Every structure is written in C-alpha cells, then in structure tokens.
C-alpha cells in the first residue's frame, strides 16, 4: 500500500515538473521576443527601485566596527597575529623583529625540508621538498618565497585550529551546523576581493591583513572535513571507547580525534593549499612576496622572470601538496620491542643534525648562508628573449592573432551582446526553469531568486558580463576537456598520467594560469577567457576520467557479454553512470571560473571583478560586500542546480 502511494505521488510530480519547466521557458522566451513592447521595468530593474544596499551595508559595517567596538577585538587579534608573523618573518627572512635570530641560512631550511619530506614519503618526497628549496635559493627568490612562507606558516595552523574548533562544534550541536553550513557555502563562493577589503579595514594593512584573509579563506574545508571525519567514526569504535569507561574528554581525545585522522589530515592538506592560493592573491592589497612580484612583473610584461616565479610557485605548491598528502596516507610503523630510543627517533635526530650542521657551515661559507645578487642562476632576461623569439615566430603569431580575431569577433562579442540584450526577466526565468527542472518548484524559486537579487542590486550588466566570461570559458573547456577525458579514460596507460597531471595542476594557485594566457594573447578578453579555460578544463577532465573509471567492472563485463562494441559500451553504460560524477566536475569548473574571472580584473575586464578591484582603493566596504554577494549568489545558483541534478541522478542510479 505504502509503495503504491509513493509511486503515484512521484508520477504526479514527474508530470507536474515538465509542465512547470515549459511554462517558465515559454515565459522567458516570450519576454525575450517581446522585448520591444515589454515595459521597461521588466527589461532592467529601474533605477528608482535599486535601493542603496551598499550604503546600508556600509552603515551596518560601520555600526559593527565602531559602535559595537568590533574594531577593538580585531585590533587585539591583529596584535597577536602580528607577533606570530614577526617571529616567522624574522626567522625566515630576517625581518628586524623579536627574536632577532634570523634569517636562518637557506641550506638549513632546505635540509630540514628534505628530511621532513623523507619522513613523510621516502626518497622521492625528500628530493622534491629539498629540491624545491634549493631551486628557490639558487634562482635568487629566497626572500620573496620566505615572505610568502612566513605568512603560510602562521595562517595554516591558525586556520586548522579554528576550523577544528568550529567543526567540533558543528558535530556536537546539529543546530549550529545547520546555521553554519549555508554561511560556509557563501564563504566558499565569495570572490577573494571580498575577503581582502574587510581584512584590510579591520586588521591593518600589510602582512596581518593578508594573513587574516588567508585564514578566513582557508577555514571552510577544515570545518567540513572535521565534522565529516567525526561523524563517520565507526559506531563500534565509539562503543568500544564507552565500554572502556572513557569520559567525554577521553572519548574526544583518545577515540574520536585519532579515528578521524584521515579526514582531519585531508582538511589540513586543503587548508595548506587554499592558504597558498590566497596568500599569492594578497598581492592585491600590497602584501610582499611571490604573488606581489609576479603581479608587478606581469603588469610590466616581463615574461621571463614571471615564468621563473611561476615555476617557483608551482614547485612550492606541489611540494606542500604532495607532502601533506603523504602525511594523510602515512601509517605509524611499529618497532620490535627493545628498540633503543635513538633508533625509534632516527629521522628526528638526523633532521636536527642536518640543521645544526648547516647552521655551522653557514658561519664559514657564505654560499650556504645566503645567495647574493649576482650569484643566483636566474636567467630571466634570457628566457624573456627566448619567449619573445618563439612568440614572434610567424606561425604562432598568425595562429594566435587569427584565434583572437575569430573568438572576439564571431564568438565572444556576439555572445556577450546577446546576453546583455536579453531582458533580466528572461534570464531569471530561464535560470528558474533550470532549477525547476532538476529540483521542482523549490529549486526553481531558489535559483531564480538568487539571480533576481542580483538584478535588484542594480549591478545586472556587470554581473552578466561576468557570467558571459564564465560560460564562454566553461563551454570551451567542456568542448575540449570532455572528449579528452573520455579518450584518456578508455586507455589505462593514459589515464593515470593524465589524472596525475590534473591533480598536480589543480594544486597551482589560480594566478599561475594567467601567465600563459598573457604570453599568448596579450592583455584582452581572449586571454581572460583562455586563462579561465585552462583553469576549468582541469576539473572537467579529472572528474570525467574518474567517473568513467569508477564504473564497476561487473557492469562492463555484463556489457561485453551482451556483445556491446566499445562505442556502445561507452554510450550505453559508461557515460550514463559517469554523468553524476562528471556533473560534479562541471560544477567545480564553473566555481573555478567564477574565481578566476575576478582575478583577471587586473588585466582590465569590465565585469564585477573590475568594480571590486576599485573598491579596494576607496575602502568602500558596503559596495565591496554587495558586489561580492552578486558573484556568490550567481555561483550558488549554478552550484545548486548542478549539484541537485547530480544528486538526483545518483539516487536514480542507486549509487
């Protein structure tokens, strides 16, 4: 009886849904076609209806800051952070602050890195970690890199700690979790400019603000992974702890936290990677370091040196990522009973030994202490020449020139104009229809409302230009990434290296992707789209490969035994089952694109990013927040629709 009921109910929903979708789509189409006769308020929200949200927000922020005295709290926090930052800054690059010990010789840091790498992942990791630091020193970027590292070494642990506490609270109090999760979702889609400005206003200009922005940006995954890890500690382990008579604190300390080790460490890995991504971007608020140098070099089109810095950033990213991932999978080793303590702590002793040896060596050998200007092996200008020579090659120039002309004239500009021409109502209705299609009326309302709010803020045109860049790039990425992914997934020999390449590419700070774009296409819309395109292709390919490869062998064998050709197998078995996973990749591509399009602001786009960048100069916190919310809401609308679809498919497939 109950079963009968539920099927008829879902049938009814299935009938209701398409009719709703068709209705919304028809309305959207009608709004577009009837534009000439449409009342003006349906085409764009009229000016009088755009309320001064930015001023209200500004007033609200001022109230919180000054009247409620939040500024005093944040000032206290920044004093504490500054103290920590001064210590790492002194140790790593010799900033003239307490404890006045540094800078540590580069050889000592590299030696410790190598031993740490060995402890985590054997010889290969030792070579990677040690090699990275040797490269940084030899190429003459030691101080820059250490300026960046000094912020990360403070920001990452603080973010881990705060994330851990919030995650614990979310796990303990479901109500807190329900309140926290939407906030985290917004945080994860807010453009980075919206992190930067409040940080500057509340926490002083300079490294402290950069550090705060980095911490806030890196917290969400730690919260999520902590809550997730604690939730999936197996019931029996929990019960075993309780039956052993553990108190609550003992349960947490000895049972929950150690059992959630894997998830917690994955959280740590993500915190480190996000910290690096953000700390590079704090260049926009004048934080010195690798990011700032890269920004100024790219602005002056010094491609050779940009390239070198890019390599450094990539090496640092790969090292941090690989080492923290090696830590995730590293299992404790047992020693036979009676092993002496120096054997148990062999690596620790070697690390200390190498550190001290390098310290002593640095006293006598200048090269081991620091690399002077002129001693470095930087070949920036030579690489510059080579790049210029390659780029001035007739074939390449004509190809990129033609591509640029073709894309701008025939694809990008017409598409942008079309989107701008559409009445807001039409766009909102289309988005609502998409939401309605995947998740019923509720999803339709949510998706439509998100875009509706954007329209009400009065930043519609800027927002649409942002969406245009995102969609163009993601479509381009899908056209190239999906077929490549499918091809790669079908050959095991290709799949593994490509997957590794994608994983590695995903660890690069987004900034890096602008280097080749600017090299090839100069400073214009095409290079923005191109940068987003490379950035977005990576997750698309990665999830396509993963989705196809995770189809169970039994199903493939069943298809083989049914006499399916490779082609039939792909179309009838692999793709349908891989689609939910591929949708996740698509979603990530769009989220990445929204992130990237804002960064591209400094190339000179006309979208929300540009406006956001302007707010940095004017300290317009209210406007900054409104613009940031526009980006976040649009991203969340896409996120909601795609993830909902993926979840529905998964449920329907029963996986």
- Between helix 525-549 and helix 460-490 the angle, nearest 10°, is 40
Q: Is 69 helix (H, G, I), strand (E, B) or coil?
A: coil
N- to C-terminal Cα separation, the chain = 26
Closest distance to another protein from the beta carbon of 326 (Å): 17
CA distance 522 to 525: 9
Structure tokens at 168: 């614990």
**CB-hemisphere CA count at 13 Å for 250?**
9
User: Rg of the chain's alpha carbons, rounded to an integer?
Assistant: 27
Closest distance to another protein from the beta carbon of 262 (Å): 9
Closest distance to another protein from the beta carbon of 260 (Å): 10
Closest distance to another protein from the beta carbon of 12 (Å): 23
Please say which residue, 265 or 482, places its beta carbon nearer to another protein.
265
Please say which residue, 35 or 261, places its beta carbon nearer to another protein.
261
- Name which of 521, 528, 515 is nearest 608 in CA terms: 528
**CB-hemisphere CA count at 13 Å for 451?**
28
Tell me which DSSP letter residue 285 carries: G
Contacts with another protein by CB under 8 A lie at 234, 236-237, 239-247, 250, 254-255, 258-259, 261, 331-332, 334-337
The length of the chain in residues reads 655
Closest distance to another protein from the beta carbon of 225 (Å): 17
C-beta separation of 408 from 526 below 8 A: yes
Closest distance to another protein from the beta carbon of 230 (Å): 15
Please say which residue, 173 or 335, places its beta carbon nearer to another protein.
335
Which residue stretches of 63-191 are H helix? 70-93, 106-138, 142-172, 174-189
Please say which residue, 119 or 159, places its beta carbon nearer to another protein.
119
Please say which residue, 339 or 619, places its beta carbon nearer to another protein.
339
Please say which residue, 239 or 385, places its beta carbon nearer to another protein.
239
Closest distance to another protein from the beta carbon of 126 (Å): 24
DSSP notation for 512-579: GGHHHHHHHH-SSHHHHHHHHHHHHHHHHHHHHHHHHHTS-HHHHHHHHHTT--HHHHIIIIIHHHHH
Please say which residue, 96 or 247, places its beta carbon nearer to another protein.
247
Cα torsion at 349, 350, 351, 355 (round to 10°)?
A: 100
Please say which residue, 254 or 650, places its beta carbon nearer to another protein.
254
Closest distance to another protein from the beta carbon of 233 (Å): 10
């Amino acid at each position: 009886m109950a079963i009968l009921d539920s099927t008829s109910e879902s049938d009814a929903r299935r009938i209701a849904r398409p009719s709703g979708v068709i209705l919304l789509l028809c309305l959207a189409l009608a709004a577009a076609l009837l534009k000439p006769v449409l009342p003006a308020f349906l085409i764009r929200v009229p000016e009088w209806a755009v309320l001064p949200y930015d001023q209200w927000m500004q007033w609200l922020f001022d109230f919180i800051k000054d009247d409620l005295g939040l500024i005093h709290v944040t000032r206290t926090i920044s004093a504490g952070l500054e103290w920590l930052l001064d210590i790492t800054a002194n140790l790593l690059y010799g900033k003239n602050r307490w404890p006045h010990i540094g800078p540590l010789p580069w050889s000592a840091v590299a030696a410790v890195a190598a031993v740490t790498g060995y402890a985590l992942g054997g010889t290969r990791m030792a070579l990677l970690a040690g090699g990275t630091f040797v490269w940084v020193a030899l190429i003459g970027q030691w101080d820059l890199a250490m300026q960046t590292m000094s912020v990360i070494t403070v920001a990452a642990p603080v973010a881990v700690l705060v994330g851990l506490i919030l995650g614990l609270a979310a796990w303990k109090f479901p109500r807190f979790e329900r309140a926290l999760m939407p906030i985290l979702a917004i945080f994860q889609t807010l453009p980075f400019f919206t992190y930067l400005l409040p940080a500057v206003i509340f926490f002083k200009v300079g490294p402290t603000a950069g550090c705060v922005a980095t911490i806030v940006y890196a917290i969400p995954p730690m919260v999520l992974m902590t809550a997730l890890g604690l939730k999936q500690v197996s019931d029996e382990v929990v019960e075993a702890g309780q039956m052993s008579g553990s108190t609550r604190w003992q349960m947490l300390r000895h049972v929950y936290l150690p059992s959630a080790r894997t998830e917690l460490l994955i959280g740590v890995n993500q915190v480190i990677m996000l910290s690096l991504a953000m700390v590079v971007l704090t260049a926009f608020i004048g934080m010195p370091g690798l990011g700032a140098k890269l920004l100024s070099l790219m602005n002056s089109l010094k491609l050779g040196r940009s390239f070198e810095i890019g390599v450094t950033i990539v090496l640092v990213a790969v090292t941090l990522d690989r080492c923290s991932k090696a830590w995730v999978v590293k299992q404790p080793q047992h020693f036979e009973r009676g092993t002496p303590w120096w054997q148990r702590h062999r690596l620790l002793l070697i690390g200390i030994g190498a550190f001290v040896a390098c310290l002593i060596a640095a006293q006598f050998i200048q090269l081991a202490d620091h690399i002077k200007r002129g001693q470095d092996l930087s070949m920036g200008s030579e690489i510059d020449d080579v790049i210029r020579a390659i780029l001035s090659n007739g074939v390449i120039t004509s190809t990129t020139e033609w591509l640029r002309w073709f894309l701008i004239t025939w694809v990008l500009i017409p598409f942008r104009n079309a989107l701008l021409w559409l009445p807001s109502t039409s766009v909102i209705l289309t988005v609502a229809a998409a939401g309605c299609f995947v998740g019923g009326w509720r999803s339709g309302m949510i998706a439509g409302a998100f875009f509706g709010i954007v329209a009400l803020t009065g930043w519609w045109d800027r927002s649409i230009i942002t969406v245009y860049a995102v969609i163009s790039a993601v479509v381009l990425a899908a056209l190239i990434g999906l077929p490549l992914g499918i091809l790669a997934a079908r050959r095991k020999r290709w799949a593994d290296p490509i997957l590794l390449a994608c994983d590695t590419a995903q660890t690069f700070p987004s900034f890096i992707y602008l280097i080749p774009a600017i090299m090839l296409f100069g400073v214009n819309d095409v290079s923005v789209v191109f940068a987003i395109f490379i950035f977005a292709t990576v997750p698309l390919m990665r999830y396509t490969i993963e989705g196809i490869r995770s189809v169970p062998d039994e199903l493939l064998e069943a298809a083989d035994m049914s006499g399916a050709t490779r082609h039939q197998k792909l179309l009838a078995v692999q793709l349908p089952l891989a689609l939910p996973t591929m949708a996740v990749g698509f979603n990530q591509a769009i989220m990445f694109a929204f992130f990237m399009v804002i960064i591209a602001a400094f190339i000179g786009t006309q979208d929300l990013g540009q406006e956001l960048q302007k707010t940095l100069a004017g300290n317009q916190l209210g406007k900054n927040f409104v613009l940031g919310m526009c980006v976040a809401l649009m991203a969340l609308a896409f996120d909601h629709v795609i993830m909902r679809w993926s979840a529905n498919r998964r449920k329907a497939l029963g996986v």
